[in-house]
Amino acid sequence: MTNGTGMSDACLDEQVATWGMMLATLPIPAALVSPDGRVVDRNRWVDIGVGDCLIQMDASPHPGFAFGSDGASRWRVRPVDDDSRVWLATADRADDGAHLIDRFFFSGESLFVVYDQAGLVAQSNAAWEDLLGYGHDEVFGLDSWTLLPPDDLETRSRVEAELRKRGRSEPRFRMRTKDGSYKLIKWALYYDTELGRCFGVGRDVTEEEQLANELQRMAYTDDLTGLPNRTKFLERLEAVLETSATPAVLFCDLDNFKVVNDSLGHNAGDLLLRGIADRLAPHADASDSLFARLGGDEFVGLLEQGTWPRAISAAEEILDLLREPFLIKGQPIYATASIGITVADARTVRSAEALLGEADTAAYEAKGLGRDRYKAFDDALREQVDRRFNVEAGLRRALEDHRFEVDYQPIVALPGAGVVGMEALVRWRNESNDLVLPGRFIDVAEAAGLMPAIGRQVMTQAFSVAAELAQGGRSIAISVNASAAELSTGAEYVKQVLDTAADTDLDPTQILVEITESAIVGVEATLPTLHALRSQGVRIGLDDFGTGFSSLSHLRSLPIDVVKVDQSFVADLAHDHVTRAVTSSLLNLCHALDLDVVLEGVETTDDAAAVEQMGGRLAQGYLYHRPMSALNLCRLVGRQDRIAPLSLRPSRELEQTKTHP
């Protein structure tokens, strides 16, 4: 038997039942109509009864999208089956959300599925079927829970419990496709108790998950070695510390790694780092341990349940692993490491960064003891760390409160010992009003990155004093020390020097910037920075000359004007003929290179006699003057009848600029 639509009653009943469930969920007027516009089924937003005429089609029904009208408003209509025997009509209003039906069933954006009371698929759209690779006949009546991974029974139990309790659930779970692969789908499931049906709208988020996993891998993995990186290590350690565990940290700093880079090239260094990572890989990310690369030649290990015996055993195992040669570019390379160990104390709450710092400190101590060994972080090292922490905190407060003071040690010209220059020496006035000398805090300031800020305060005070003397007719050189951190800023440091000179009305030709070998080695910005300073008249001095291994080469390669011979040479001049011969040769060499030479540490009359005997012209030391305040310096210089005739000469680079414009 057929009805007015031309389809069998059974087919019509099936269509109406399926689409009727969907219509009930729409918050807009919607109905199923026959090709002549009569109502087959409708939701509660439509008042016309079944069999009544709802709309007049604008044109003869045809496959595809069309419009109709009920005389008062327009409707959008489209067939819901291939033969166009039943049409879906939705009120065509811009704000009524009619697009939902297109989105769910006719577009490729969303997956839509309807489950009956038994949890079997009653209806699904093409997007859902295409994603999983099944035909409509294959999914109809399917228990889609069987498409979940076999070990994911927890998801089904949780989702069903949420649907029973709240009527909705928003899970993410994987579903097996016909080819055996899995797709990750994010669902919004809604259970209608009146209809006894569950409606699901889903979205394929497989690619999103893959992208997220790749971003996470990049965020937590060292690119060179494939090991976990610093971020992953610290997060894992922080998580362990939140439990009652007492983790152990092993900080591994490779010995003499720079030699490999310098002799065989950075590519060989990278190969060595990868080789080390391969040996550590079995322990890289285990259930109770983690080995990561912090960067450079530093690796770090974590034992979640750490004890001193276990940590020491692990350190010994690592040392043994590294002692076996690595074959790099066809030749064996031997690598060793200095390892620092610390174990968290359950009685003391410490952060991951603090534990890492303890292990780093112990590794540094192990390196100082001879390398290729481990050192445990003990009470003595803890006192050292606490001191550094307290000093750093005090330095930061001192910067805010401008509690850095400057003393000045004169540089004199021989033989008359008239003052021709002064070296600015920083002091820290701590909160107890004690004056702390730089030997007790400079290393902490450099490690904490505070030297540029401290240098700015020193420079401002020193340049102001030099400018005041110059305005009084006593123009002498002012010497300031430049740290590696300051030089590494390049043009920023040059600007700071010149701006401070301008702000204090000081002629740049009165400025001597002192550098050390340790401050310039490995700092790529050094040469351009020094040339930029000298082009403006600022002179460059090489301080502590003779304490490094390549000082003579620096006389030729660096743009310097002044050499300051370290006091260790001067101390032996009077009684050691070898030191005297070396120093005399050095003086002759520097004079031949048109460099001024200042001999530091002249403390006795014998020292002074030896310096003058070998032709020294400039000196600095306690025999002449101890460091003094700005007030005492001004009094001292003011007592001079005139500035000594021999003074530090202008920068040779500035002279060349004036000669060859």
Question: Does the pTM of the predicted model rise above 0.75?
Answer: no
- Greatest CA span in the chain, whole angstroms? 132
Residue among 361, 286, 264, 215 at smallest CA distance from 275: 264
Task: List the beta strands (DSSP E) in 289-345.
Answer: 289-295, 298-303, 326-328, 331-333, 337-343
Together in a domain, 173 and 139: yes
For residue 387, being part of any structural domain is answered with no
> Quick one: pLDDT band at residue 1, thresholds 50, 70, 90?
very low
The DSSP 8-state label assigned to residue 221 in this structure reads B
> Quick one: pLDDT band at residue 624, thresholds 50, 70, 90?
very high
Together in a domain, 433 and 348: no
- Ranking 76-90, 354-368, 562-576 by mean pLDDT, the lowest is 76-90
Together in a domain, 463 and 598: yes
User: Sign of the CA dihedral 328, 334, 338, 341?
Assistant: positive
* Mean of all residue pLDDT scores within the chain: 83
For range 280-286, the mean pLDDT = 75
Residue, of 286 and 148, whose pLDDT is higher: 148
**Which of 74, 90, 106 represents a domain boundary (last residue)?**
106
**Which of 185, 208, 231 represents a domain boundary (last residue)?**
208
% residues pLDDT > 90 (the chain) = 32
Phi-psi map region of 104: left, alpha, beta (phi>0 left; psi -120 to 50 alpha): alpha
- 3-class state of residue 640 by DSSP: coil
Together in a domain, 357 and 407: no
User: Sign of the CA dihedral 114, 117, 120, 122?
Assistant: negative
Phi-psi map region of 255: left, alpha, beta (phi>0 left; psi -120 to 50 alpha): beta
For range 550-556, the mean pLDDT = 67
Task: List the beta strands (DSSP E) in 25-179.
Answer: 30-33, 39-42, 56-57, 66-69, 74-79, 87-91, 111-115, 121-124, 168-169, 172-176
pLDDT at 97: 42
The DSSP code sequence of 362-379 is HHHHHHHTTSSEEEE--H
- Ranking 29-43, 102-116, 257-271 by mean pLDDT, the lowest is 102-116
pLDDT at 643: 52
The angle formed by the CA atoms of residues 15, 17 and 142, to the nearest 5 degrees, is: 85
For the domain that residue 493 is a member of, what is the CATH number?
Answer: 3.20.20.450
- How many domains in the chain? 4
> Quick one: pLDDT band at residue 618, thresholds 50, 70, 90?
very high
d(CA 360, CA 367): 11
On the question of pLDDT at 23 being above 80, the answer is: no
Together in a domain, 204 and 226: no
Together in a domain, 181 and 245: no
For range 3-13, the mean pLDDT = 51
d(CA 344, CA 560): 50
Together in a domain, 53 and 185: no
Residue among 191, 173, 199 at smallest CA distance from 18: 199
Together in a domain, 39 and 117: no
On the question of pLDDT at 619 being above 80, the answer is: yes
For range 431-459, the mean pLDDT = 91
> Quick one: pLDDT band at residue 642, thresholds 50, 70, 90?
low
The DSSP 8-state label assigned to residue 103 in this structure reads I
Together in a domain, 367 and 467: no
Domain that includes residue 448, residue range: 402-659
d(CA 539, CA 510): 8
pLDDT at 373: 93
> Distance between terminal CA atoms of the chain?
110
For residue 392, being part of any structural domain is answered with no
Together in a domain, 564 and 421: yes
On the question of pLDDT at 94 being above 50, the answer is: no
For range 390-401, the mean pLDDT = 93
pLDDT at 156: 84
pLDDT at 620: 94
Residue, of 93 and 238, whose pLDDT is higher: 238
- 3-class state of residue 283 by DSSP: helix
**Which of 327, 344, 377 represents a domain boundary (last residue)?**
377
Phi-psi map region of 526: left, alpha, beta (phi>0 left; psi -120 to 50 alpha): alpha
Residue, of 28 and 171, whose pLDDT is higher: 171
For residue 364, being part of any structural domain is answered with yes
User: Sign of the CA dihedral 181, 182, 183, 188?
Assistant: positive
List pLDDT tens digits, range 54-65.
888 776 555 556
List pLDDT tens digits, range 97-143.
445 455 555 555 678 888 887 888 887 888 888 888 988 788 888 88
For residue 397, being part of any structural domain is answered with no
Together in a domain, 80 and 116: no
For residue 51, being part of any structural domain is answered with yes
For range 195-220, the mean pLDDT = 80
pLDDT at 660: 43
Together in a domain, 262 and 368: yes
- Ranking 6-15, 249-258, 483-492 by mean pLDDT, the lowest is 6-15
For residue 613, being part of any structural domain is answered with yes
Which helix or strand (DSSP H or E) is residue 534 part of?
helix 526-534
For residue 411, count CB atoms less than 10 angstroms from its CB and return exposed for 0-12, middle for 13-18, buried for 19 or more. buried
For the domain that residue 358 is a member of, what is the CATH number?
Answer: 3.30.70.270
On the question of pLDDT at 448 being above 90, the answer is: no
Which helix or strand (DSSP H or E) is residue 496 part of?
helix 491-503
For residue 390, being part of any structural domain is answered with no
On the question of pLDDT at 284 being above 60, the answer is: yes
List pLDDT tens digits, range 324-383.
899 887 888 888 999 999 998 866 667 888 899 899 999 999 998 888 999 999 888 888
For residue 383, being part of any structural domain is answered with no
Say if residues 260 and 272 touch (Cβ distance below 8 Å): yes
> Quick one: pLDDT band at residue 301, thresholds 50, 70, 90?
very high
For the domain that residue 162 is a member of, what is the CATH number?
Answer: 3.30.450.20
> Quick one: pLDDT band at residue 644, thresholds 50, 70, 90?
very low
d(CA 622, CA 653): 32
For the domain that residue 21 is a member of, what is the CATH number?
Answer: 3.30.450
pLDDT at 98: 45
Helix residue spans in 324-370 (DSSP H): 352-368
pLDDT at 59: 62
pLDDT at 650: 61
For residue 405, count CB atoms less than 10 angstroms from its CB and return exposed for 0-12, middle for 13-18, buried for 19 or more. middle
Token representation of residue 193? 């108790």
Q: How far is C-alpha 643 from the geometric centre of its chain's CA atoms?
A: 53
pLDDT at 95: 45
Residue, of 106 and 632, whose pLDDT is higher: 632
pLDDT at 96: 45
